[in-house]
Amino acid sequence: MRALLKMVKVEGTLFLRDSATVIFGVLFPTGLLLGLGAIPALREPSPETGGLRDIDIWAPTALVFGMVMIAVQHVPAVIATYRERGILRRLSTTPAHPRGVLLAQMIVALASVVVSAALMTFLAWAVLDIAPPERPLEFVVAFVVGYAALLGLGMVSAAVVRTSSAANQLGTLLFVALMFFGGAFLPRVVMPDVLREVGEFIPPGLQALTAAWSVEAGQITATAGGQPFWPQIAVMAGIAVTASAVAAKLFRWE
Amino acid sequence: MTALEVRNLHKRYGQHVAVDDVSFTVEKGEIFGIIGPNGAGKTTTVESIAGLRTPDSGSLSVLGLDPTKDRAEVRERLGVQLQESSFPDAIKVAEALELHSSFYRNPADWRELMELLGLTEKRDTQYKALSGGQKQRLSIALALVGNPEVAILDELTTGLDPQARRDTWSLIERVRDTGVTILLVTHFMDEAERLSDRIAVINGGRVAAVDTPAGLIARSSGARQVRFRVSQPLDRSVLTDLPDVTDVEITEGRWLVTGRGQLLSSVAGALARARVVAEDLRVDQRNLDDAFVAFTGRAPESPGNSTRRVG
């Protein structure tokens, strides 16, 4: 336990020294939202969306951006580097199992997205007047379970790649795919129904996050054939468990 | 007391036999060297002892424990400095030492170790900014931070400059003086000769010889040679008649006598009886390099070649 706490502390310190990840993973989502919020047209209440502004409906996408960045880009790259450079192997000659360093990585990755999300929801409220999550409990559940599903995918990626450069390539590919369903290229609200319905099965689950943040926005982005909130959460939990099991099965320590 | 026991170790990777049949025993408090050409199976042998590889057959014992079955206990008591191991770029020296000391039940004082290895002034330097020698010293410190009873040091001074190598040698001798058993893998003959109490020569996945450095040299030596100049004329037969002498060559006043056994005392005695003074007398000193060649049929790598290799 003492060793794990020390590892979390050291991995956290190393994370903070990696300025690119801190900027893109933690600070950028807030910057992106504030930047888009500076465009007047996106702050106009629209009668078609029941008086909601585009920025209100789109805000959860910025949140997803930070989560995906850390879970599928940053974490697998660090783990692949640790494997490639014999750091995991070196650890396995000590009483600390290299499992500890993976766990520490995941704890740090969770802490960093929590900070990122807290910063974003606070500034979204303070600067853009986007109300804090209306259903806080559901929001926390959707966030944690959705993130667990993302990290599961990240760990599968870390398990199968051989080198850190392969981890970066696969990470970028996953990032683009996940962010497509995360509404970064095409806002969810304008996606065809079929894409929206598929999107409910894509981590971290944008629809559940949107619905928990703002009930009205959730109604606008939902489709007639879509799943209710809790089944969406169950899907994410299933993905988290399955992906973690696959990652654990495929993981190579050297 | 036996610290390490390796019996008929055999390990293959697919078709490639990395270790064919290796056996040796290391006593407590010993510095035991392993030398051999690249690809001889040295690294696979020590990785098996460290529990990183599971042998295909044979048995291993570390302080009476099995590295595969008693993993946890072996890891507490065995310190390992691996060839080709590294640490995260941004970790600082003091952080790495403090972190690793937290893994062990009874760790050494990591600040003291940092001082002993001359890393105190680098305590806040990130790993990526350390020189090769400093990285190596950090790696040694981390192998010792758990207060191990046995330490495996693989290619201890590869990449170090000559002064740093000598400093590291005296450090290892001090560590041994505290009772730590050391298994030293090296391809530097001077290092093996200077530090080891006993040496195993591994060649082609088998142990070619195990002995003290002096014993290996003595066992390997065939012909010996003595060179000198003489102050007065001397008849060749004075030396060729000696039973230990096999050949005498004279080139421009320089005598080169080849023979065996107690060649130097035979030659010196004969010269004294002939009342001839030998000047510029030199005896070809045989060393571990010669033993290496004799047991492996290959020349050891020169210490100037500091590239890292998998052995």
Model pLDDT, residue B222: 65
All CATH 3.40.50.300 domain ranges of chain B, comma separated, are: 2-218
Model pLDDT, residue B274: 87
| Record: contact A95-B82, CB cut-off 8 A | no
Domain B223-285, what fold? Alpha-Beta Plaits (3.30.70)
Contact residues, chain B, for A3 at CB < 8 Å: 102-103
CA distance B58 to A80: 33
| Record: contact B103-A89, CB cut-off 8 A | no
How many distinct structural domains can be found in chain A?
1
Residue of B nearest to A79 (CA): B88
| Record: contact A18-B90, CB cut-off 8 A | yes
Q: How much is the average pLDDT of B176-194?
A: 92
Angle between helix B93-101 and B132-144 (nearest 10): 20
* Domain of A207, in residue numbers: 2-250
Q: How much is the average pLDDT of B58-76?
A: 93
Instruction: Give the minimum alpha-carbon distance from A87 to chain B in angstroms, rounded to a whole number.
Output: 6
Closest CA to A218 of A147, A148, A133, A118: A133
Q: Over pLDDT 70: what percentage of chain B?
A: 96
Contact residues, chain A, for B75 at CB < 8 Å: 93-95
CA distance B290 to B224: 12
Q: Is the pLDDT of residue B100 over 80?
A: yes
* Most confident range, picked from A59-73, B208-222, B289-303: A59-73
Model pLDDT, residue B289: 84
Q: B221 pLDDT band (50/70/90 cuts)? A: low
Q: Give the best residue of B48, B68, B87, B153 to mutate against chain A (max A CB count within 10 A).
A: B87
Q: Tell me the per-residue pLDDT of B103-112, one tens digit each, with 9 for 90 and over.
A: 999 999 999 9
Sign of the Cα torsion A97, A158, A148, A75 reads positive
Domain formed by B2-218, architecture: 3-Layer(aba) Sandwich (3.40)
Output the DSSP codes for B24-91.
EEEETT-EEEEE--TTSSHHHHHHHHTTSS--SEEEEEETTB-TTTTHHHHHHHEEEE-TT----TT-
Contact residues, chain A, for B54 at CB < 8 Å: none
Q: B279 pLDDT band (50/70/90 cuts)? A: confident
Which member of A3, A14, A85 has the closest CB to residue B103? Answer: A3
| Record: contact A93-B51, CB cut-off 8 A | yes
**Strand-strand pairing, B16-27 and B2-13:** antiparallel
Peptide bond just before B162 cis, omega within 30 deg: no
Model pLDDT, residue B32: 97
Q: Is the pLDDT of residue B304 over 50?
A: no
Model pLDDT, residue B88: 94
Residue of A nearest to B76 (CA): A95
Q: Is the pLDDT of residue B224 over 90?
A: no
Model pLDDT, residue B306: 41
Q: Is the pLDDT of residue B159 over 80?
A: no
Q: Is the pLDDT of residue B286 over 80?
A: no
Model pLDDT, residue B11: 95
CA distance A75 to A81: 10
Which member of B84, B126, B146 has the closest CB to residue A94? Answer: B146
Count helices and strands (H / E) in chain A. 13, 0
Residues (pLDDT < 50) of chain A are: none
Residue of A nearest to B90 (CA): A14
What SS3 state is found at A238? helix
Better pLDDT: B42 or B261: B42
All CATH 3.30.70.100 domain ranges of chain B, comma separated, are: 223-285
Q: B311 pLDDT band (50/70/90 cuts)? A: very low
Mean pLDDT over each residue of chain B, to the nearest integer: 88
Instruction: Give the minimum alpha-carbon distance from A147 to chain B in angstroms, rounded to a whole number.
Output: 25
Question: Which residues, including other chains, have CB under 8 Å from residue A37's CB and lie 6 or more apart?
Answer: A43, A55, A124, A127, A128
Contact residues, chain A, for B105 at CB < 8 Å: 95
Instruction: Give the minimum alpha-carbon distance from A19 to chain B in angstroms, rounded to a whole number.
Output: 11
Which member of A7, A17, A82 has the closest CB to residue B99? Answer: A7
A→B interface, C-beta within 8 Å: 2-3, 6-7, 10, 13-14, 17-18, 81-82, 85-87, 89-90, 92-96
Which member of A17, A86, A95 has the closest CB to residue B103? Answer: A95
| Record: contact B82-A92, CB cut-off 8 A | no
Model pLDDT, residue B302: 58
Which member of B51, B85, B91 has the closest CB to residue A10? Answer: B91
Stated as kind and residue range, the H or E segment containing B270 is: helix B263-273
Model pLDDT, residue A189: 86
| Record: contact B87-A90, CB cut-off 8 A | yes
Q: Is the pLDDT of residue B305 over 60?
A: no
